[in-house]
Structure formats: C-alpha cells, structure tokens
Amino acid sequence: MANTKNLYQDQVIGPFSAGEDIMAKIKAQASTEGNFNTNCYVWHLGIKSDINAIFNIKLNDNTTSVIPIKIGSTGIYEIGNTKVVSIIPQQNVDDETIIDFVLQA
C-alpha cells in the first residue's frame, strides 16, 4: 500500500526570540511548498541549540499544557512519531539554533 501521508521536511534557523512560536515560521515556510495549512503539525522534530536552552513544546491544540524540553550536553534534542503543534524557546537563542522538522498535513 502506498504511503498516503502528506509530508514536508526542512529546517528553520535562528535567531529566535523568547516566547516566539517557531511553528509560525515553519508553517509559513511550508505553505509555499504544497498542501500545508493551519491544521498541520510536526511529526518529527530535531532541535540543535545551546546546552541548557529550554524549549516549550505543545502536543495538542486543545490543551494549554506544555512540556519544557531542556537541551542536554550534546546540544541536540530529537523526538519522532509525535504531533508537535507549538515550539517556543524560553530564552533568546542565536543564529546557530537549527530546528529540523518533518511536517505532516
């Protein structure tokens, strides 16, 4: 059976401001590439940033709950097979911060 998922893989690069929802940049970038609208989400997420940087991720539009993710000693965080709808740094992060993602519509 063919894969019927509508996927888009790319990356966005900082700087990002504290409190900025990076999903807005991801969706804007993906909207030029195909059928990606406000209902899409990150299916696979990779964050490369400063050690100890904290990003709040939200896994559901219907909740206010966020999960704080602290970047560990490798400077990298990765999660797959998920449904991330919001990615917000708690502090300003520089232009060496890279968000790799696979977006699913």
pTM, to two decimals = 0.88
- The two three-digit tokens of residue 62, written as one number: 């219907």
User: What confidence score (pLDDT) does residue 62 get?
Assistant: 79
Average pLDDT over residues 62-84: 92
> Is the pLDDT at 2 greater than 50, yes or no?
no
Lowest mean pLDDT among 23-32, 43-52, 69-78: 23-32
Q: Tell me the β-bridge partners of 89.
A: 55
| Mean pLDDT value of segment 2-27 | 87
CB atoms within 10 A of CB 91: 14
For the chain, domains (ranges, CATH) are 7-104 (2.60.120)
Half-sphere exposure of residue 82: CA atoms within 13 angstroms, side-chain side: 16
d(CA 55, CA 83): 16
Q: What pLDDT, in 10s, does the model give residues 48-67?
A: 999 999 999 998 877 788 99
